[in-house]
Amino acid sequence: MISFGVSAGPSTRPSPGPSTRPSPGSSARPSPGSSPGPSSSPGPSAFPLALEIQTTTACNSGCVICPHHEVRPGGTGGDMDETLFARIIGECAPHQSGLRIIPYLNAEPLMDPWFPHRLELIRSLCPRAEVEVSTNVSLLNEKVRRELGKGPLRELRLSVFGFTPGTHKKMMPGLDWPVVRRHLNDLVADKPFRAGVGEISLVMIDHPWVPESETRMAADFCAEHGLRFHLWGFLDRAGNVRRFSHLTRHERVVGCRQGRPFERLHIRHDGIVILCCQDWRSTVVLGDLRRQSVAEVWRSAEYERVREAVRGGEEPQPEVCRRCQLAVTP
């Protein structure tokens, strides 16, 4: 699976045993700070409470619930320049207390050849920041675990959309289930690694192609090995997953259930800042960190104009918000 910054919506399926079902958001815990309500949304903080940084655009899983293969045909894109990444993390340093750094956005972060170095830079410049990583597990071998286990890693999410070879291949056709299962087994047995990670969770999606029996298998696996389990409902990524689109289109939006424009900055690999992780096609561009600082983009008049539109103001509302299941409506 591509590692999404916003989780799928709530599942309609009964929760199988020891699972948790968060409100639809990127975390089982609320995102840093409190999500603003519809029209009474407060102004943004002086600096984002979280940054989602696309260190690479690559992904190897080909998930059927994801638009990556349409948006990035043939794997087009690239990796974030190290100098740009270092400058972004450097800007975070004075604000690191209470800050969450998420070094992935709509991609598989472990495909980034510089990922270990990027984690080391975060450790060096922002040791008090919370770091969140999500992966499809296919590349989570012992060497990678050693790097991740050096900390600080507040949360590690394992995206596993099927618990038998057939279903897993159907949902994540680019991956090899025996490899994924071996990495899962190795991970749960790796006590030194687990001691260095705040929380490890396994995420499944409530989708018609995933039998309830496999959801229970995954939940039981988590219960046996002390992992958190999440069953999240399917989001069509604001209509970008055309094969399974919910055909949502709101007449009017008065807020965001996750408060994304008010709390998070979403940064593409090339430094372009977009509205949120649902905006796969970059329809709302809010700045360019190759030419601006994080603070300049975050406090810009353009960003505030879009925030006011999301609050339900008079400005034309972003089409991506009107198509999003996470929008607040009147």
Q: Do residues 26 and 2 make contact, with C-beta atoms less than 8 angstroms apart?
A: no
β pairing state of 228-233 and 264-267: unpaired
pLDDT of residue 170: 96
pLDDT of residue 25: 35
Assess whether pLDDT exceeds 60 at residue 126: yes
pLDDT of residue 258: 86
Assess whether pLDDT exceeds 70 at residue 211: yes
What digits encode the pLDDT tens for the residues 25-73? Answer: 333 333 333 333 333 455 678 899 999 999 999 999 999 888 887 777 6
Mean predicted confidence (pLDDT) in 184-189: 98
The span from the CA of 305 to the CA of 178, in Å, is: 49
Least confident stretch, 195-199, 244-248, 298-302: 244-248
Quick one: CA dihedral 322, 37, 257, 158, positive or negative? positive
Mean predicted confidence (pLDDT) in 6-14: 46
What digits encode the pLDDT tens for the residues 151-165? Answer: 779 999 999 999 999
Mean predicted confidence (pLDDT) in 168-177: 97
Q: Do residues 289 and 267 make contact, with C-beta atoms less than 8 angstroms apart?
A: yes
pLDDT of residue 73: 60
Assess whether pLDDT exceeds 50 at residue 14: no
Give the helix ranges, DSSP H, for the chain: 68-71, 82-92, 115-125, 142-148, 165-171, 177-189, 191-195, 212-225, 260-263, 294-298, 301-311, 319-322
Q: In whole numbers, what is the pLDDT of the chain averaged over residues?
A: 85
